[in-house]
């Protein structure tokens, strides 16, 4: 085989000629990482030389790294707000990109409580598809025989809106699944799904999940891999099965589709797929009615070789639950991507989650790295950041990712902290450390400290009539429930014991907190059902002092001790729970609609 690369020699030759081509591309890109990066920068700056943004910084058509680094500032989303607002309001001039902005991708990161809007251009779809096309060729090196069956993937689209200027605004995956790239993809034995496009593209999340599950059950012996984008999504599917297996088995037994499936194209497609199968219905009933759901994934889909879900970053909290339901199947984290740009892939996808490293593909964008030192801003005294090029990062060091994209983000701080673990050829490989400033995350929501503080402040207004205030608080992402939910621990100062806050008042506090949280959180609660009701756990007086004593006994400095606003260390959570006075859940749903508030 002509590939002759380090990667293909790891586990034998590529599975087919198409794979060989993809692996060759990975090799070429990673061997020549610096030259590819230089070319990408030149391309981006040439293509966009006449944009308002590059003209403002007097790049004057220069495309070299030195001019780029000396003239363009390193920015955040907030710095770009005015330009983004203009584009959203309908200004079609070449503000950031010479190519027309085709749509906005709504990031799960937020700004002032609303999703960030990432401008994108048509050709970015090709780049995203290119990265997707590399995933199976790598996987085929490690797991043979994936062409002999199918993948059961729970994939969904989410609601979309239009900006005042008429541009679509939707999540990147919704954009991808609705594109011709995805809908008319050629059949590939190595990448066959049990879910038909009609099910994936159904905007109603119940109907979409129901039919995807039904197809997965029908094809149960053919399923070789089970996946979702994030671990939380796969667990939601398991929960869905727990709640709906009875009706699903009726459909399987009779071959008649549940009347709740009302989408006409989906009904039409499902009637062709669904066949009466009483034997399978009996099996599903037998397995699902058992009290113990341990290993349910491999019981129902016995040929599953691995789970394809991201369990790095915030999703690592779901590993024990996934292991429980799958009997410890390998978990493959295949790629690292965002609305702004797709970054790279895992060249060793069957490794342990703790060992996952993503190799950044140098042809996706121009990458720079801001050295990250915890407790420092990353800026030197003259406030000019010292950024490092892709090939110059050092093993063991942590950096914040900074990107320059074809769509017109220049030296843009993504907010992800990465640690270099090694190199594949001359392209570095990164462990995803964390996203900056994220305290709590259950699904794609990301809540920071300031948002949590504001939510506590707003909620505690309901305590005024009880002459009560919140003395201290902390939080915890409880993923033992499906869907997971936010738990906020409160220590209260009740000034009048005869008039202490009622359960009703504390429930109102829960809902008030949810109302204050950002739109991604509220969408997860209302539309996606991916986050459960927020819970306030009131703890005994003095609990937070005990927390401090505990931290100091473990070496924290008494002068510098700060109450952690989020806890996930089991002994601390146990300590808090052992001091529980009462627990209260949000009684309703917060407000959410797809329209932006601003």
CB of 286 to ligand AMP, least distance (A): 37
Chain center to CA of 43? 29
Q: How many CA atoms lie within 13 A of 196 on its CB side?
A: 19
Contact 141, 8 (CB under 8 A): yes
Q: Smaller CB distance to ligand AMP: residue 135 or 414?
A: 414
Q: Smaller CB distance to ligand AMP: residue 152 or 520?
A: 520
Q: Smaller CB distance to ligand AMP: residue 24 or 435?
A: 435
CB of 358 to ligand AMP, least distance (A): 6
Q: Smaller CB distance to ligand AMP: residue 172 or 576?
A: 172
Q: What's 366's DSSP letter?
A: E
Q: Smaller CB distance to ligand AMP: residue 32 or 317?
A: 317
Structure tokens at 338: 């965002």
* Alpha-carbon distances, residue 39 vs 35, 366, 392 (angstroms): 6, 9, 17
| Chain positions contacting ligand AMP, by CB under 6 A | 107-109, 172, 310, 312-313, 333, 336-339, 414, 416, 432, 435, 444
Q: Smaller CB distance to ligand AMP: residue 78 or 256?
A: 78
CB of 136 to ligand AMP, least distance (A): 17
From 589, 575, 590, select the one nearest 476 (Cα to Cα): 575
CB of 315 to ligand AMP, least distance (A): 7
CB of 411 to ligand AMP, least distance (A): 16
Beta bridge partners of 412: 75, 403
Q: Smaller CB distance to ligand AMP: residue 301 or 342?
A: 342
Q: Smaller CB distance to ligand AMP: residue 72 or 337?
A: 337
Q: Which residue has the tokens 């012996």?
A: 221
Contact 500, 460 (CB under 8 A): no
CB of 47 to ligand AMP, least distance (A): 23
CB of 407 to ligand AMP, least distance (A): 13
Spatial CB neighbours of 391, under 8 Å, sequence gap ≥ 6:
33, 34, 37, 426, 427, 428
Contact 186, 120 (CB under 8 A): no
CB of 338 to ligand AMP, least distance (A): 3
Spatial CB neighbours of 56, under 8 Å, sequence gap ≥ 6:
none
Chain center to CA of 107? 10
Structure tokens at 63: 């495309």
Distance, CA of 103 to CA of 106 (rounded, Å): 10
């Amino acid at each position: 085989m002509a590939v002759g690369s380090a990667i293909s020699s790891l586990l034998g030759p590529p599975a087919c000629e198409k794979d060989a081509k993809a692996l060759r591309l990975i090799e070429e890109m990673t061997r020549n990482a610096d030259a590819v990066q230089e070319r990408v920068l030149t391309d981006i700056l040439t293509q966009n030389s006449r944009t308002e943004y590059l003209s403002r910084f007097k790049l004057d058509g220069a495309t070299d790294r030195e001019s780029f680094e000396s003239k363009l500032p390193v920015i955040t989303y907030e710095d770009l707000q005015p330009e983004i607002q203009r584009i959203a309001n309908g200004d079609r001039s070449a503000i950031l990109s010479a190519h027309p902005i085709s749509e906005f991708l709504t990031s799960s990161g937020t700004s002032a409580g609303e999703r960030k809007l990432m401008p994108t251009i048509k050709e970015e779809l090709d780049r995203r598809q290119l990265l997707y096309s590399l995933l199976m060729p790598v996987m085929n090196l490690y797991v043979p025989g994936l062409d002999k069956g199918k993948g059961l993937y729970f994939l969904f689209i989410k609601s979309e809106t239009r900006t005042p200027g008429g541009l679509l605004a939707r999540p990147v995956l919704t954009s991808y699944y609705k594109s011709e790239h995805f809908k008319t993809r050629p059949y590939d034995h190595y990448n066959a799904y049990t879910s038909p496009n009609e099910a994936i593209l159904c905007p109603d999340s119940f109907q979409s999940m129901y039919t995807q599950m039904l197809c997965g059950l029908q094809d149960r012996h053919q399923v070789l891999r089970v996946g979702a984008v994030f671990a939380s999504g796969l667990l939601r599917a398991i929960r869905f099965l727990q709640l709906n297996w009875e009706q699903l088995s009726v459909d399987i037994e009779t071959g008649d589709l549940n009347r709740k499936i009302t989408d006409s194209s989906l009904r039409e497609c499902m009637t062709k797929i669904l066949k009466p199968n009483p034997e399978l219905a009996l099996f599903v009933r037998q397995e699902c009615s058992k009290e113990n759901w341990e290993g349910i994934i491999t019981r129902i889909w016995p040929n599953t070789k691995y789970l394809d879900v991201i369990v790095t970053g915030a999703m690592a909290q779901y590993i024990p639950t996934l292991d429980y339901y799958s009997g410890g199947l390998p978990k493959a984290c295949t790629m690292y991507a965002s609305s702004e740009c797709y970054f790279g892939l895992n060249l060793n996808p069957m490794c342990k989650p703790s060992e996952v490293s993503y190799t950044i593909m140098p042809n996706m964008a121009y990458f720079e790295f801001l050295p990250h030192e915890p407790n420092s801003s990353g800026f030197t005294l003259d406030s000019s950041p010292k950024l490092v090029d892709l090939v110059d990062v050092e093993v063991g060091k942590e950096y914040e990712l900074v990107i320059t994209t074809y769509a017109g983000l220049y030296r843009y701080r993504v907010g992800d902290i990465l640690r270099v673990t090694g190199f594949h050829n001359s392209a570095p490989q990164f462990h995803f450390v964390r996203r900056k400033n994220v305290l709590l995350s259950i699904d794609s929501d990301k809540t920071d400290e300031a948002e949590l503080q504001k939510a506590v402040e707003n909620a505690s207004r309901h305590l005024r009539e009880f002459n009560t205030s919140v003395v201290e608080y902390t939080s915890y992402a409880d993923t033992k429930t499906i869907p997971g939910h936010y738990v906020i621990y409160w220590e209260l100062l009740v000034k009048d014991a005869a008039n202490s806050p009622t359960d009703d008042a504390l429930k109102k506090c829960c809902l008030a907190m949810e109302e204050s949280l950002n739109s991604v959180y509220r969408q997860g609660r209302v539309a996606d059902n991916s986050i459960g009701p927020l819970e306030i756990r009131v703890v005994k007086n003095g609990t937070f002092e005990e927390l401090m004593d505990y931290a100091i006994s473990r070496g924290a400095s008494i002068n510098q001790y700060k109450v952690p606003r989020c806890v996930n260390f089991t002994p601390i959570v146990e300590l808090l729970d052992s001091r529980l006075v009462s627990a209260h859940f949000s009684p309703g749903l917060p407000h959410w609609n797809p329209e932006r508030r601003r």
